[in-house]
């Protein structure tokens, strides 16, 4: 393959044998491959159809099959050729196949399938042009009992087996639309159905949601990727949240809220008015709130085990440090919260 380096601006290619076999014709539509087979020591590629020469390859219609013996080796080869390196790829055999049409609006996928280790992914529908992918309307079905790719990328620090995903996702000019979309990562489960408006106001949202998991570690990491810090500071523990979200340019409402974190629970509704100074309204009820789970004594603070007159032995203590109320200046609130059992 290294003989092609001068034709690719000096891009480094593996010094390994290869073979090319097939039929190639050139006409006004582009390159017609009937078929074209390329094989190296580590990869095999078969392509048949029309590969157009227009902008963004619009007009192309190809069927393809690609297979490799080791995804990690492939990643290293692509990195050497100038593609951004992806650390932690698994050393597993992989394959992709299907049909792709390309037009001005994006990519139309027909029965595209991918396999990695024991995992599989099936895609049908349209994907809009990157990076915003507007116009996407894609049906997905994924199943990997080993979560091979995710486990490798995360270094196995979070239990993510098995991985399952199904449903239909749309990306319009103004929102995302989920049709019975479900995802499972180990013991984490999420279900979405409806419309999710774009940030920051999420106007147009009409979304039924349910998510549950053994701890907040994974949700906190995902939230930080979008620079959301609403989960920071919450205690780690089993959680479950369900409800209905509705957004408009003026406010965002969550109704039918049913949330649990550890031994604490919250039910009811709330509405955030998106005024110059946001105002929160709501009516919430709780069977039990464990205050100590949310306001733990800071690490490194010594707590005496001695019991003085009038005290009883308990780990549920208010900190002697003053509570920082400055964040409350950023929002007004009128919330009715009824708690049956408050552990302080």
The predicted-structure confidence for 280-306, as pLDDT tens digits, reads as follows 999 999 999 987 666 554 444 443 334
Q: What is the mean pLDDT of the chain?
A: 86
Query: What single DSSP character describes residue 52?
Result: -
What are the structure tokens assigned to 298, written together? 């800071």
Q: What is the pLDDT of residues 243-268, one digit of tens each?
A: 999 999 999 999 999 999 998 999 99
Strands 289-290 and 342-343: parallel
State CA 202 to chain mean position distance.
18
The yes-or-no verdict on residue 121 having pLDDT over 50 is: yes
Residue from 245, 304, 253, 296 nearest 274 by CA: 253
Nearest to 92 by CA among 133, 164, 147, 131: 147
Q: What average pLDDT does range 307-318 have in this prediction?
A: 45
Residue with tokens 């010094």: 15
Positions of E strands within 117-250: 119-128, 136-144, 163-171, 175-185, 188-197, 206-213, 239-247
Classified as helix, coil or strand, 307 is coil
Tokens 């005290």 — which residue? 311
| Element of type H or E holding 40 | strand 30-40
DSSP state letters, 308-335: -TT----S----SSPP--GGGGG-EEEE
- pLDDT given at position 154: 67
Mean pLDDT score, 16-28: 91
Least confident of 81-95, 109-123, 262-276: 81-95
pLDDT for 36 equals 92
Q: What is the mean pLDDT of residues 98-118?
A: 96
């Amino acid at each position: 393959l290294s003989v092609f380096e001068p034709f690719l601006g000096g891009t480094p290619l593996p010094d390994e044998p290869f073979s090319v076999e097939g039929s190639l014709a050139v006409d006004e539509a582009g390159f017609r491959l009937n078929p074209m087979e390329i094989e190296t020591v580590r990869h095999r590629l078969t392509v048949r159809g029309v590969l157009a020469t227009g902008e963004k390859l619009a007009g192309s219609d190809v069927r393809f099959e690609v297979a490799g013996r080791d995804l990690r080796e492939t990643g290293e080869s692509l990195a050497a050729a100038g593609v951004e390196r992806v650390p932690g790829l698994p050393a597993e055999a992989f394959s992709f196949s299907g049909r792709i049409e390309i037009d001005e609006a994006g990519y139309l996928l027909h029965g595209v399938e991918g396999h990695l280790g024991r995992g599989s992914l099936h895609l049908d529908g349209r994907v809009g042009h990157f990076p915003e992918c507007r116009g996407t309307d894609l049906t997905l079905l994924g199943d990997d009992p080993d979560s091979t790719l995710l486990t490798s990328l995360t270094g196995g620090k979070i239990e993510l087996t098995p991985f399952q995903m199904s449903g239909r996702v749309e990306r319009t000019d103004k929102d995302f639309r989920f049709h019975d979309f479900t995802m499972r990562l180990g013991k984490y489960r999420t279900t979405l159905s409806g419309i999710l408006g774009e940030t920051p106001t999420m106007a147009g949202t009409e979304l039924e949601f349910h998510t549950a998991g053994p701890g907040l570690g994974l949700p906190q990491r995902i939230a930080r990727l979008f620079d959301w810090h609403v989960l920071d500071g919450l205690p780690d523990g089993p959680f479950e949240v369900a409800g209905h979200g509705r957004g408009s340019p003026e406010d965002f409402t969550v109704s039918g809220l049913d949330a649990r974190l550890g031994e604490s629970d919250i039910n009811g509704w709330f509405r955030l008015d998106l005024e110059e100074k946001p105002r929160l309204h709501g009516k919430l009820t709780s069977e039990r709130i464990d205050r100590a789970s949310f306001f733990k004594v800071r690490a490194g603070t010594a707590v005496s085990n001695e019991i003085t007159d009038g005290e009883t032995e308990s780990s549920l203590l208010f900190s002697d440090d003053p509570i920082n109320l400055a964040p409350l200046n950023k929002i007004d609130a009128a919330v009715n919260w009824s708690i049956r059992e408050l552990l302080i």
